[in-house]
């Protein structure tokens, strides 16, 4: 078993977002159907959620299904919906309550099958008072669509006289985006080696550290997750500022 990368619990990211990519290629490399790749990817979700909770991550966003994914073959979409429902009913629900995990969802959930909408709403309601880690499932989610929806909501508020257009700034717009009230991701992880963000949290990742790994999602487990966290802790987060030499030395000493 590979040695765990050392982590400084005082410098963990509060919010980690993951683009879970590579299920299809993982299956293709093994002569399996894409559905088998998605099934195996479920084990990686379990491992990452458990590792995040044990490590002390406060917020974990998982990009499970994008608005563009609706364009895939109907058989694959239906299988993904069944897998998501089974995961919610047989795995997440019990573990979330046992470990005090709160569940949220972002995206146009109205497009999901009605039974999945009900299960998702029930889990969100059941866990709303949990005070441990928050898991955010991005399902039927697209950042451009979310920004457009937020813009329409702001326009309605202005037309109704409840919001002064002159007072609209980044803070106001952020309140209308999903997920409201959640800090922006400190770390964005993408598996499978692809160098794109795929319409995910376009507003929120403005200053996120980005970590791309060649590992396909079904092979991404505790060790790979901890490697990403260790790499995050080696970064200097400037947020557009120039770090003074004394501060840089302090950061290096902390590592």
Burial 166-204 (b: 16+ CB within 10 A, else e): eeeeeeeeeebbbbeebebbbbbbbbbeeeebebbbeeb
| Catalytic residue (choose from 69, 108, 184, 199) | 69
Q: Is 69 a catalytic residue?
A: yes
Q: Is 219 a catalytic residue?
A: no
Whether residue 81 is preceded by a cis peptide bond, meaning omega within 30 degrees of 0, is no
| Catalytic residue (choose from 21, 123, 146, 186) | 21
The helix (run of H) or strand (run of E) holding residue 225 is helix 222-233
- Count CA atoms within 13 Å of residue 9 on its CB side: 5
CA distances, 188 to each of 147, 159, 165 (Å): 19, 36, 32
Tokens of 85: 């429902």
**What is the spatial distance between Cα 75 and Cα 61, in angstroms, rounded to a whole number?**
26
Residues annotated as catalytic (active site), given as ranges: 21, 69
């Amino acid at each position: 078993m590979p040695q765990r990368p050392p982590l400084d619990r005082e410098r963990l990211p509060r919010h980690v977002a993951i683009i879970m990519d590579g299920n299809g290629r993982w299956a293709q490399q093994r002569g399996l159907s894409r559905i088998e790749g998605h099934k195996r990817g479920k084990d990686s979700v379990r491992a990452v959620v458990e590792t995040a909770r044990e490590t002390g991550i406060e917020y974990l966003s998982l990009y499970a299904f994008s608005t563009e994914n609706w364009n895939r073959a109907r058989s694959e979409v239906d299988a993904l919906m069944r897998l998501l429902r089974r995961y919610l009913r047989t795995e997440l629900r019990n573990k979330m309550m046992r470990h005090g995990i709160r569940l949220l969802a972002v995206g146009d959930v109205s497009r999901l099958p009605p039974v999945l909408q009900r299960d998702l709403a029930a889990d969100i309601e059941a866990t709303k008072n949990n005070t441990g880690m928050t898991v955010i499932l991005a399902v039927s989610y697209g950042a451009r669509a979310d920004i457009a929806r937020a813009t329409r909501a702001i326009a309605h508020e202005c037309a109704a006289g409840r919001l002064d257009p002159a007072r609209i700034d980044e803070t106001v717009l952020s309140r209308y985006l999903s997920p409201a009230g959640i800090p922006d991701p400190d770390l964005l992880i993408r598996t499978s080696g692809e160098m794109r963000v795929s319409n995910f949290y376009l507003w929120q990742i403005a200053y996120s550290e980005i970590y791309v790994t060649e590992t396909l999602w079904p092979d991404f487990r505790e060790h790979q997750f901890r490697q990403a966290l260790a790499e995050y802790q080696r970064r200097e987060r400037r947020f557009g500022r120039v770090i003074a030499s004394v501060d840089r030395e302090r950061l290096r000493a902390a590592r």
